Amino acid sequence: MTLYSRVRPLAFKLPAETAHGIGKRTLRAAQSTWPTRAALSYAYRYEHPALEVDLFESTFPNPVGVAAGFDKNAEVTHALEALGFGFVEIGTVTPYPQAGNDRPRLFRLREDEGMVNRMGFNGQGMETVRSRLEADGTPGVPLGVNVGKMNSSTEREAIEDYRRVFDRLSPFADYVVVNVSCPNTPDEFDEASPDHLRSIFETLEAENDADVPILVKVGPDEPEESLFDLVDIVEEFGLDGIVATNTSTSREGLESPRRDEWGGLSGKPIENRSTAVIRTLAEYTDGDLPIIGVGGVDSAASAYEKIRAGASLLQLYTGFVYEGPSTARRINRGLVDLLERDGFSSVEEAVGADLE
Ligand SMILES: Cc1cc2nc3c(=O)[nH]c(=O)nc-3n(C[C@H](O)[C@H](O)[C@H](O)COP(=O)(O)O)c2cc1C
């Protein structure tokens, strides 16, 4: 029995956002001194040459990252590194601080091993995040920065929002993700429309003198045609990859009493849908476009399935909440076994192995 399996029933008695806050404060305290950080690293980091991924001109020590939303304000990037994650994506960061939606806005769907959230881009804003990155330094693993718009922005203002956050935070980033797929922010206009996407990417390209890799994050509910359209735009602008997927508005097959809360569904219930999107994207691009796979990853088997479907890197949020601090270590150890079992010498070799 792990320590987390004893702590979890207590944590799960608290409202989800309260438990998340306590978890984050604990991680922040743990990363603040060298001995506690080193102790975490010693207990949780797992290294193996087969896990290394070279992508976006960075070396990822392993393919298991923390998804956007967990550390919106870059408060615990060093602790997440110490817990054995191979990279951390902060954000979504908006230009100004934003309160998000009213609480409660985060719900566990225990029977379904999922969560529903309607946080609504709550965050401290780009200047606070920038100051924190300056003060704390970036972690020793690659850092992604997920950028978003203010909830009140019009279509035209939104483009300026992305530009400003990109301008302030891309110097700290190993890659930047444009998030146009959040299902719980106001939809005054179609954020994922081809015209809007073109305007965003045109603007960011003009700003990107340092050639920071730019990716776009897609939702799991998009029909195939929209995914193809998106890939065409990604290729038109020479973007570096796609993060697939964000949370879902579907509620199919759920059992939990909380299933009808509005917001974005994450975790086990979206696993297969997210993997299907990864496979569609990988097949359409002949495996040439890097994909970060996210949605329901909580074990080595679920991580491996996404790698074989075409994901070069993985991320998780909900699985981390359910499985606790040893999640990355457990997944990475298991991945090494699965790679060996199937005769692959590295994660990179297994990417897209299931594609026709
Ligand atoms: C509470 C919560 C907040 C999230 N906030 C963001 C966010 O700010 N930006 C974003 O791109 N994705 C956000 N996500 C989506 C995750 O990054 C991820 O795409 C999704 O949860 C699927 O992964 P999972 O099944 O491992 O949780 C959030 C997810 C959760 C559960």
Express each pLDDT in 120-177 by its tens digit.
999 999 999 999 999 999 999 999 999 999 999 999 999 999 999 999 999 999 999 9
Q: What are the residue numbers of the active site?
A: 182
Pocket test for ligand 1, best of 71, 93, 103, 317 (most atoms within 8 A of CB): 317
- pLDDT single digits (tens) 217-272: 999 999 999 999 999 999 999 999 999 999 999 999 999 999 999 999 999 999 99
- pLDDT single digits (tens) 60-96: 999 999 999 999 999 999 999 999 999 999 999 999 9
Query: Of all helices (H) and strands (E), which one includes residue 60?
Result: strand 58-60
Residue 176 lies in a domain: yes
Residue 356 lies in a domain: no
Centroid of ligand 1 to alpha carbon of 267 (angstroms): 9
- The number of folded domains in the chain is 1
Residue nearest to atom 14 of ligand 1 (CA): 69
Pocket test for ligand 1, best of 149, 247, 265, 294 (most atoms within 8 A of CB): 247
Residue 268 lies in a domain: yes
Residue 216 lies in a domain: yes
Pocket of ligand 1 (CB under 6 A): 67-69, 72, 91-92, 106, 115, 117, 119, 146, 179, 182, 217, 246-247, 266-267, 270, 294-297, 316-319
Question: Of 91, 225, 206, whose CA–CA distance to 159 is shortest?
Answer: 206
- pLDDT single digits (tens) 17-29: 999 999 999 999 9
Rounded CA separation 100/343 (Å): 47
C-beta separation of 335 from 48 below 8 A: no
What's the full length of the chain, in residues? Answer: 356
pLDDT at residue 7, as a whole number: 86
Counting from 1 in the atom list of ligand 1, the atom nearest the Cα of 267 is: 25
pLDDT at residue 134, as a whole number: 98
- For the segment 204-228, the average pLDDT, to the nearest whole number, is 97
Q: Which amino acid is at 199?
A: S
pLDDT at residue 185, as a whole number: 82
- For the segment 282-301, the average pLDDT, to the nearest whole number, is 98
Average model confidence (pLDDT) for the chain? 96
Rounded to 5 degrees, what are φ and ψ at 266? -135, 175
Helix (H), strand (E) counts: the chain: 13, 13
CATH code: domain of residue 63: 3.20.20.70
The half-sphere exposure of 191 on its side-chain side, counting CA atoms within 13 A, is 27
Residue nearest to atom 5 of ligand 1 (CA): 69
pLDDT at residue 356, as a whole number: 79
Residue 127 lies in a domain: yes
Percentage of the chain beyond pLDDT 90 is 93
- For the segment 274-292, the average pLDDT, to the nearest whole number, is 98
Q: List the domain range (segments joined by +) for residue 246.
A: 3-350
Q: From the annotation, which residues make up the binding site for FMN?
A: 68-72, 92, 146, 179, 217, 245, 267, 296, 317-318
- For the segment 303-328, the average pLDDT, to the nearest whole number, is 98
C-beta separation of 64 from 303 below 8 A: yes
Residue 207 lies in a domain: yes
- For the segment 96-123, the average pLDDT, to the nearest whole number, is 97
Centroid of ligand 1 to alpha carbon of 118 (angstroms): 10
Residue 90 lies in a domain: yes
Q: Is the pLDDT of residue 312 over 80?
A: yes
pLDDT at residue 48, as a whole number: 98
pLDDT at residue 1, as a whole number: 66
Percentage of the chain beyond pLDDT 70 is 100
Residue 355 lies in a domain: no
